[in-house]
Chains A and B, each alone.
Chain A
Amino acid sequence: MSLSRIWKVLRKDLALGPRSSIFLWAIVLPFALTLILQVAFGSLFDPKPRLGIVDDGDSSITAAIEDMDGIELTLFDDAGELKTQVEANDLDAGLILPQGFDDEVRDGEQPTLQFFIGGESYASNRIILTVTAIDLVREIEGSDAPVTVDVVSFGEAGLPMSKRLIPVIVFYALVMAGLFVPGSNLVEEKEQGTLMSLLVTPVKSSEVLIAKWLLGVILSVVLASASLALNGAFGANWAQVLVVILVAGALSSVLGILAGVYAKDSSIMFAIVKGSGIFLFAPTLFYIFPEWPQWIAKLFPLYWIIEPIWQVSVMGEGLSTVWVELLVALGITAVLGAAAWWLAKRMQAQMAGQ
């Protein structure tokens, strides 16, 4: 086996990729899905409240807001510049904290707080910024809120739908890039006879299969990572997320190779993907509907790659939580790889016999 020849076939496939509609579709689909689902359920286009502060005296309010993820903070030296940006709607609100503000509040001197509100800002953002500012002033004063707010959630408890749809988006990235691209690429080579032309050069069928498998792994890792990042789920432990995505790419790509080796032509390849679609897709449904019996999800092969992605990227768990799932996924990959290897020998004889 020659790594050099594997690389040459892989490089050719990567170079030809952008000239293939299936390849382009595989790249576009996860992004399109992210866009559609985030518009429907998420907050892709909801900007964070934007607050500007001129802080002349190192107020604890500025420090507290800096630590908040939900507010986009910009610091200014000049009050005039702050007002200009609020007027231009570049900020939702502006706050001027004079020197000694915190001390005056603590001393009960009731200092004046200048708070500018942009006229064109979202009402929701204005409310968030106003309530936040008042709460922080109360904290300086050391007083409790005058009321106790009883929060009652309507709808389902647990994670928001935008989070629960992440497995669906990652699934499409893995299936399109990892399964469909290498599988259909292999079938196309069979149909056009180019595979046979490769096999009368020093390239071996095993080298072709490994090159196609790597194509699927690379594409699926890139697209699954991008999908997670777009959905804010790549997380701080990116290295561990990358490991689970790599295992997922390896399994989905070996499924693609197996389908590609088995399918004689494109119509059979499409039939395999369509026919097995629900079987592959099923585990993602258990994340959308967490009240379903979760053990059923384990009956489907892609559960073993979706679950580690869910736990590590969305739930923030470590690899130690999902090592069993990862081992099972690697085991499935090895078994399917051996099956593809065996079928490849038959495929070569069938092609030559045609």
Chain B
Amino acid sequence: MTGPAISVENLRFSYGDLEAVKGIGFEVQPGEILGFLGPNGAGKSTTIKMLTGQLTPKSGVARVLGIDVSTDDPALQARIGVCFEEKNLYLNMSAKENLDFYASLFGIKDPDSIEVLRRVGLADRAKDRVKTFSKGMRQRMMISRAFINKPDVLFLDEPTDGLDPVTSASIRKTIREEAERGAAVLLTTHDMFEADELSDRVAFINEGRIVALDTAENLKLKYGTRSVKVRLRDGVGVREEVLPLDGDGSSAKLAELAASPDLMTIHTEEATLDQIFIQLTGRGLEG
């Protein structure tokens, strides 16, 4: 496959009168992680549902691995992996039984389910029923299920939502490994830290529209302000100064502060994706 793994042009979808996705377009290359960043109800999950064949687009064109998603072609589902936000596992089956079953649906005869479980740290619980698993373990199971067919495209809907930092870090590491293997990853999240850390590029989606799409660094450069925060001793207290780096005379002022005997610390003040999102949309990423 030489072209983009995911190609979307002017995609639209409505729930009755409510237009949830309003003509979005983007591409994801093999091995690339695209972070879809937006608040709840922005259209992230609806986009994933269209790209995975669960919903039929009202208009526009979406191709995954060159296959038009509206054709309901099983060849598409055979090459994708989906991790839902909702933890939809067979609770009365063991972890291994779950993976073996899904592998069989992809036509995999001898799945190495134990190895897949080992990647997410669940190999020692392979024979335990999923209903005995904690929330974090179930989420790791969801990730492992999405990987079972070694997909060329991964759709991950809020893969670390509500998890503890250790489990989240473990899941992020596994996602990165999949991208390194060559899988294109479309990751929806409202966690700007996750998007920043994982994504090669970030798309901001708000009210069904993509309002910005670029690398996180470029977005910060384009929409953020370059500044440093300087902390100085001030008598018995501490004084803080924020110094824009792009203003006239900022270099001289920074040099002066750096030479001051009262200088305690200097920190770069980089804009966060959250701040940029607010700047672009007038609303936050949460809720």
Partner of A353, one of B15, B52, B101: B15
Please tell me if the beta carbons of B89 and A12 are within 8 angstroms of each other in the complex.
no
A196, B78: Cβ atoms closer than 8 Å: no
B89 near A194 with CB under 8 A, answer yes
For chain A, residues 1 to 43, give those with C-beta under 8 angstroms from any C-beta of chain B: 4-5, 8-9, 12, 16, 19-20
Alpha-carbon distance A317/B106, docked complex (angstroms): 48
- Could you say which of B90-98, B173-181, B253-261 contacts chain A? B90-98
A349 to B101 Cα, complex, angstroms:
25
B156 in contact (CB, < 8 A): no
Are B88 and A196 in contact, CB atoms less than 8 angstroms apart? yes
Set of chain B residues within 8 Å of A193, measured between Cβ atoms:
84, 86-88
- Other-chain contact of B82, A192, A200, A351, A353 (Cβ < 8 Å): A200
Q: Is the CB of B54 within 8 A of A16?
A: no
**Residues of A with C-beta under 8 A to B49:** 352
Q: Which residues of A contact B101 (CB under 8 A)?
A: 8, 12
Among A5, A12, A203, A351, max chain B CB count under 10 A is at A12
Q: Is B54's CB under 8 angstroms from A200's CB?
A: yes
The reply to whether the CB of A311 lies closer than 8 angstroms to some CB of chain B is no
Please count the residue pairs between chain A and chain B whose beta carbons lie under 8 angstroms apart in the complex.
67
Smallest distance from the beta carbon of B95 to chain A beta carbons, Å?
A: 15
| Cβ-defined partner of A202 (8 Å) among B78, B82, B84, B89 | B78
Does B117 reach chain A (CB closer than 8 Å)? no
Contact of B105 among A198, A349, A351 (CB under 8 A): A198
- Size bracket of the B interface: 20 to 34
The answer to whether the Cβ of B235 comes within 8 Å of any Cβ in the partner chain is no
For the complex, count residues of A whose C-beta is within 8 A of B.
25
Question: Is A204 interfacial (CB-CB < 8 Å)?
Answer: yes
Instruction: Give complex CA distance A20, B90 in Å.
Output: 12
B26-52 Cβ-contact flags toward A at 8 Å (1 or 0): 000000000000000000000001001
CB–CB A202/B90 < 8 A: no
Q: Do A353 and B55 have beta carbons less than 8 Å apart?
A: yes
Query: Nearest Cβ in chain A — how far from B196, in angstroms?
Result: 28
Main secondary structure of the interface of A (DSSP, over half): helix
CB-CB contacts below 8 Å: B99-135 with A: 101-102, 104-107
Separation of A201 and B103 alpha carbons in the complex (Å): 9
Question: Which of B53, B88, B102 makes the CB contact (< 8 A) with A192?
Answer: B88
Q: Give the residues in chain A near B74, CB-CB below 8 Å.
A: 202, 204
**Alpha-carbon distance between A47 and B145 when the two chains are bound, in angstroms:** 57
Question: In the complex, what's the smallest C-beta–C-beta distance from B188 to chain A, in angstroms?
Answer: 15
Q: Smallest CB–CB gap between B242 and chain A, Å?
A: 46
Q: How far is the CB of A305 from chain B (nearest CB, A)?
A: 32
Given contacts A20-B92, A204-B74, A352-B54, contact A8 B105 (CB under 8 A): yes
C-alpha gap A20/B91 in the complex (Å): 11
State the CA gap A199–B104 with chains docked (Å).
14
Task: List, in ascending order, chain A residues with CB within 8 A of B55's CB.
Answer: 349, 352-353
Cα(A84)–Cα(B77), bound, Å: 74
Residue of B nearest to A2 (CB): B74
A9–B75 Cα gap in the complex (Å)? 19
A348 at the interface (CB under 8 A from B): yes
CB of B80 closer than 8 Å to a CB of A? yes
Q: Which of A194, A196, A199, A349 contacts B90 (CB 8 A)?
A: A194
Contact (Cβ within 8 A) B92 A16: yes
- Known contacts: A8-B101, A16-B93, A353-B15. The answer to whether A197 contacts B54 by CB under 8 A is no
What is the chain A residue whose CB lies nearest that of B20?
A353
A residues in contact with B91, CB < 8 Å: 192
A187 to chain B, nearest CB (A): 14
> CB distance B105 to A200 under 8 Å?
no
Interface code A177-202, partner B: CB below 8 Å = 1, 0 otherwise?
00000000000000011101111111
Residues of A within 8 A of B84 (CB): 193, 196-197
CA distance A313 to B72 in the complex (A): 46
Which residues of the partner chain B approach A203 to less than 8 Å between Cβ atoms? 77, 105
Question: In the assembly, what is the distance between CA of A16 and CA of B104, in Å?
Answer: 16
Please report the C-alpha to C-alpha distance between residue A75 and residue B228 in the assembled complex, in whole angstroms. Answer: 109
Q: How far is the CA of A285 from the CA of B72 in the complex (A)?
A: 47
Given contacts A203-B77, A203-B105, 19 further A-B contacts (CB under 8 A): A4-B107, A5-B105, A8-B101, A9-B105, A12-B90, A16-B92, A192-B90, A193-B87, A193-B88, A196-B84, A197-B82, A200-B77, A200-B82, A201-B78, A202-B75, A202-B77, A204-B72, A352-B54, A353-B55
Could you list 9 examples of A-B contacts with CB < 8 Å? A8-B104, A19-B92, A192-B91, A199-B53, A200-B52, A200-B80, A201-B102, A352-B49, A353-B15
Which of A's residues lie within 8 Å of B, judged by CB? 4-5, 8-9, 12, 16, 19-20, 192-194, 196-204, 348-349, 351-353
Which B residues contact A (CB, under 8 angstroms)? 15, 49, 52-56, 72, 74-75, 77-78, 80, 82, 84, 86-93, 101-102, 104-107, 145
- Which 3 pairs between the two chains have the least Cβ-Cβ distance? A193-B88, A352-B54, A202-B74
